[in-house]
């Protein structure tokens, strides 16, 4: 028996990708559209979405675009009503949109809103989208929710407290939901993504000193998750960090503390204004 391909997994299915206008989301959209899926992209920027649609069209495929602010959870029900009215039920939801803030906790003493807005998009936005597609998945007894998380949850990355906390919440929800909906043949996958070369990491200097993955390679990881339905996808470094922290928490904390002391908050994190970026991008602005 031949191995199942991405075309086997998605041909004729409807896939919704949040944060689909650039980076990982756009790379995944190109893969699934090429494989025969009805591809729906949701992101905040209208122009970026149109560019993504045009880029996919230039490859000979089609994408449907819906601009929306996914941090405005009250508006998402109307968004999903419109999408499902236009295209029917969602077969695969990929919660990819995210906001990342690189700022130490000490620099955040008077910035509680950093934690609020990161949680609003990364957790509550993804959660709301998931809750809106689940009823139809349960009714049809099929569906797959893929949540793009971060290796930072596994290795406890210093200066990313807000981001890691929001992704940790999504990870915990995913584990519980996976157990509850297994009886309904609805699958959940967490992708603990390593650092990827996208606009999210562009504003920070540290990204030039650490290994990064291309969006195309990240899309390949997500494609394999679509095909195989694993509970979690991660890298060797992610598993290693998780195991080492579990076995040697004190030593690991000392190493993380040393790493923290050897680096600094970026200029933007310290309050120097930089161009603001949006969904699926790094947020270091001083606002």
More confident residue, 184 or 279: 184
Q: How would you class 182 by CB atoms within 10 Å of its CB: exposed for 0-12, middle for 13-18, buried for 19 or more?
A: exposed
Minimum mean pLDDT range among 8-22, 122-136, 211-225, 265-279: 265-279
Task: Look at residue 281 in the predicted model and tell me its pLDDT.
Answer: 43
pLDDT, tens digit, 9 for 90 and up, residues 179-221? 999 999 999 999 999 988 776 555 455 445 556 899 999 999 9
pLDDT band at 254 (very low <50, low <70, confident <90, very high): confident
pLDDT, tens digit, 9 for 90 and up, residues 128-165? 999 999 999 999 999 999 999 999 999 888 888 999 99
Task: Look at residue 239 in the predicted model and tell me its pLDDT.
Answer: 87
pLDDT band at 42 (very low <50, low <70, confident <90, very high): very high
More confident residue, 48 or 260: 48
Q: Return the sign of the alpha-carbon dihedral for residues 268, 271, 274, 276.
A: positive
Identify each DSSP E strand in 31-142 by its residue range.
38-43, 63-67, 92-95, 99-100
List, in order, residues 6 or more apart from 133 with CB less than 8 Å away.
16, 80, 89, 90, 93, 143, 145
Would you name the residues annotated as active-site residues? 163
Confirm if 95 and 73 have CB atoms less than 8 A apart: no
Task: Look at residue 75 in the predicted model and tell me its pLDDT.
Answer: 94
Residue count of the chain: 287
CA-based radius of gyration for the chain: 19
């Amino acid at each position: 028996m031949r191995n199942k391909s991405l075309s086997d997994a998605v041909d004729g299915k409807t896939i919704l990708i949040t944060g689909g206008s650039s980076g990982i989301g756009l790379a995944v959209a190109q893969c699934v559209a090429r494989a025969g899926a009805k591809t729906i992209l949701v992101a905040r920027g209208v122009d970026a979405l149109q560019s993504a649609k045009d880029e996919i069209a230039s490859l000979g495929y089609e994408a449907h675009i819906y601009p929306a602010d996914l941090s405005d959870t009250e508006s998402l029900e109307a968004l999903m009503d419109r999408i499902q009215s236009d295209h029917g039920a969602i077969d695969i939801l990929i919660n990819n949109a995210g906001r990342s803030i690189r700022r130490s906790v000490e620099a955040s003493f008077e910035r509680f809103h950093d934690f609020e807005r990161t949680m609003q998009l990364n957790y509550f936005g993804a959660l709301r989208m998931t809750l809106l597609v689940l009823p139809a998945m349960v009714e049809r007894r099929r569906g797959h929710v893929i949540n793009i998380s971060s290796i930072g949850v596994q290795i406890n990355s210093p200066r990313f407290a807000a981001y890691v906390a929001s992704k940790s919440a999504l990870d915990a929800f995913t584990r519980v939901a996976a157990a509850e909906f297994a009886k309904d043949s609805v699958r959940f996958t967490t992708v603990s993504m390593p650092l990827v070369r996208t606009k999210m990491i562009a504003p920070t200097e540290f990204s030039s000193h650490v290994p990064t993955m291309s969006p195309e390679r990240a899309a390949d990881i997500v494609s394999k998750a679509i095909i195989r339905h694993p509970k979690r996808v991660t890298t060797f470094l992610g598993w290693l960090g998780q195991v080492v922290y579990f076995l040697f928490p004190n030593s690991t904390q000392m190493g993380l503390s040393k790493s923290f002391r050897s680096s600094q908050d970026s200029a933007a994190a310290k309050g120097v204004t930089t161009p603001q970026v949006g969904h699926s991008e790094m947020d270091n602005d001083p606002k």
